[in-house]
Amino acid sequence: MQEPLLAALIEARARVRRDRTYRVPEALVQECMRATDADTLGCAYHTITAAEFSSRLAMPLPAYELQAFVMRYYGYCLQYDPRSAWCDTRYSAAWDLVGWLTNMWNDHSAKTSWLPGWKEWLARIYRHGTPPEKLALVTGTLEHLFENRAIAQFFADWMADPILQEAYRDATMWNQGGGNSPLSREADNNSRR
């Protein structure tokens, strides 16, 4: 059975597509962002980050709220590896995170305002994560981020940390071995929903 909150957000998304004047109510967005079930959390993420819907929110989210929610969402996915219709799995979240961070890297104001906090967040996830979470972070996110040498250099201080140096070394091996993927190119992370 579908959660009532999820059903309301899905209906709001459908109304956005039917009615050019409709705006997704702020209270609904805020409530969905606080959800604890995978489907509602995932639907909220894909609603507030997809241009089709984010431009139709009754009240645009402040940048700090958006960043905090996206961190929470990716953290949830990395930790729980959900299997749901709306929520990303551990690896799809790790791959989407590459695009999110690469887009931030390419935006000077976001790069200086938000990227240092994301770097600290990634360090916390790695330090406290389970082996599957760490593996997803290295192989799904860091090794593709590090295809950009400037981003790898931004993380180079991890080599001075006994725990983080393992993640850094493992992630750079992908690029040293000739690894190259489209994940680290600026892209719309939400084209599939």
Phi and psi dihedrals of 169, rounded to 5? -60, -45
Task: Give the tokens for residue 16.
Answer: 């956005």
Cα distance between residue 193 and residue 52, in whole Å: 10
**pLDDT band at residue 175, thresholds of 50, 70 and 90?**
confident
**pLDDT band at residue 174, thresholds of 50, 70 and 90?**
confident
Give the CA distances from residue 22 to residues 11, 16, 19, 91, 190, in Å, rounded to whole numbers and listed in that order: 11, 6, 5, 34, 21
Give the CA distances from residue 184 to residues 98, 105, 125, 151, in Å, rounded to whole numbers and listed in that order: 6, 10, 20, 10
Tokens 């059903």 found at: 7
Cα distance between residue 18 and residue 13, in whole Å: 9
Tell me the per-residue pLDDT of 68-84, one tens digit each, with 9 for 90 and over. Answer: 999 999 999 999 999 99
Tell me the per-residue pLDDT of 118-146, one tens digit each, with 9 for 90 and over. Answer: 999 999 999 999 999 999 999 999 999 99
Instruction: Indicate if the pLDDT at residue 154 is higher than 50.
Output: yes
Q: Give the mean pLDDT of the chain.
A: 91
